[in-house]
A and B are shown apart, each in its own frame.
Chain A
Amino acid sequence: MSDHSSSYVPSNGFTRWLDERLPIIRLMYDSFIVFPTPRNLNYLWTFGGILTFCLVAQIITGIVIAMHFVPHGDHAFASVEHLMRDVNWGDLIRYTHAVGASMFFAAAYIHLFRGLYYGSYKSPREIIWIFGVVILLLMIITAFMGYSLVWGQMSFWAVTVITNLFTAIPIVGEGITQWIWGGYSVGDPTLNRLFSLHYLFPFIIAALVGLHIWALHVVGSNNPTGVEVKSKTDTIPFFPFYVIKDGFMVVVFMLLFSWFVFYAPNYLGHSDNFIEANPLQTPPHIVPEWYFLPFYAILRAIPDKLFGVIAMVAAIVVLFVIPWLDTSKIKSVSKRPLFMPFFWLFVITCFALGYLGAKAPEGYFLIASQLFTAYYFIFFIIIMPVIGLIETPKELPDSITEAVEGQSGKEGASS
């Protein structure tokens, strides 16, 4: 809960002096040391910290790579190879950045699904959710631009396909697409501006993360019961409890991250991107990186070009309005037995669409894509509003303290 009294006391002359002029230490103290956090958060709540780690890692490795990368069609591919071969530690820095993008999305999707399952998007947390969706959208654009910089076959043709989608816009589509390209097709001007914007966007994301956390701190974290904080016994200070828990999970995350970086760095990528871009030869199967596959499946499920684009965009736009689509006052899906199967079917749908995004859109694969795309939208537009109005939820605990300690007052520290 937003409590405007701060308990920070500067410990020495310098910190007192600073506090009177720019209370930044006070801000850090209030936000990340004593901040009252529900005591029953589970490990799914550690992904915010993991995502912050990912963003910092991507920015640092990205800035370093930018010291060696040449954003011109004649040199881009070779400059990446120069980084891999000649620059000290260049191979590891490049692989960390490439694998890091995948890790970033994996963590983001888990973080998002946590929000969906526990109703973290519901009042009073709508703004946090909306900022989150904006961050996801910017991540998608940033990752897309970054992948294109390698200027391999997949880079070049992915940019060609996706920028060509803008021609679907009636009347102004062609003009917009040429404006994006800086020419009559994807070429050097395109590459150069993709580099400039790819460098810029992560800092916009960082600013939005700041706003995301600010909005969170105004209302306080959600928790697995969905029952809001009612008293001091419901919460514990963020430090040391959640700092150490987040720290632990960041290191566990690094174990998975480093497995890929050191042993299978190209596993999540596509071999075609090691072929230099050739504007005169299209690869047989243009496939985006795995984290875009669900959206790609939705795009290709609709045979019409314009409606395919609209469906793909709608798949993200619909996320913005979830706080108003879901009519249930109960936050956690664990307390909503009627809704639960539909939620898990939605999770299956997302995985299925991801799988189908890598398949050619024909035969049974196309039919399956269409069915799952239909369910994707039905889940948000029909099921979310309707179920909330007709369901009988399970009984909620009176408070977080009661949920943790049990009604008989039995001891049970949560972890």
Chain B
Amino acid sequence: MSSDHNDEGRRDFLMVAAGSFAAVGAAGALWPLVDQMNPDASAKALASIEVDLSPIKEGQAVTVMWRGKPVFIRKRTAEEIKQAVSADTTDMRDPQVDGDRAKKPEWLVLIGICTHLGCIPRGQSTGDVHGDFGGWFCPCHGSHYDTSGRIRKGPAPTNLEVPPYAFISDTKIKIG
């Protein structure tokens, strides 16, 4: 009967309409339950830090915490800069010129985590071991990094990571 047919059609439309409403609602209800695990506002507030470079003297290095990781900031001496710039990149495991790693030659900003298995390399203090290339030395498995933070000897696969940073004045950088 045609009225049954109409009813069937109406029923189908209602089912599709109700079903799609349910799906949209379920997705809308589900998203906050997933998003709440993302970094919250207090974590995001610490996502970038500003560092005042003026107290750091030439040849000195400081370590700051950024997003839970140590960041090495070194004010390089002329000698260290010369070594970094003039090094031959052809034999490097992870070839990179120093110009691509330091925005200003006297300032080196690196994430202080060895790219091998995550230890923190030594070389920040003046009395520390610096490895065979004058930069940093990781005591865990013997990776040697040069004065540009590049891996020169040892098992680490890549150079020490350069975090995103920018100079917001001559003596201040913002990391992240």
Contact = CB atoms under 8 A, between A and B. Distances in A.
User: Are A and B in direct contact (Cβ within 8 Å)?
Assistant: yes
A89 B33 CA distance: 8
A121 B32 CA distance: 40
Contact of B35 (A60, A67, A82, A89): A89
A93 B33 contact: yes
Interface of A: 60-61, 64, 67-68, 82, 85-90, 92-93
A88 B38 contact: yes
Contacts of B86: none
Q: Is the interface of A mostly helix, strand, loop or mixed?
A: helix
B42 interface: yes
B27 interface: no
Interface residues on B, range: 10 to 19
A67 B41 CA distance: 15
Interface string B12-46: 00000000000000000000110111101111000
Give me the 8 closest cross-chain CB pairs, A-B, nearest first.
A89-B32, A86-B41, A86-B40, A86-B42, A87-B40, A88-B35, A88-B36, A89-B36
A92 B35 CA distance: 12
Contacts of A82: 40, 42
B41 A60 contact: no
A82 B36 CA distance: 12
B36 A67 contact: yes
Nearest to B44: A86
Interface in B38-85: 38, 40-43
A85 B40 CA distance: 9
B26 to A, nearest CB: 12
Contacts of A89: 32-33, 35-36
A64 B41 contact: no
19 contacts: A60-B33, A64-B36, A67-B37, A68-B36, A82-B40, A82-B42, A85-B41, A86-B40, A87-B40, A88-B32, A88-B36, A88-B38, A88-B40, A88-B41, A89-B35, A89-B36, A90-B40, A93-B32, A93-B33
A396 B40 CA distance: 62
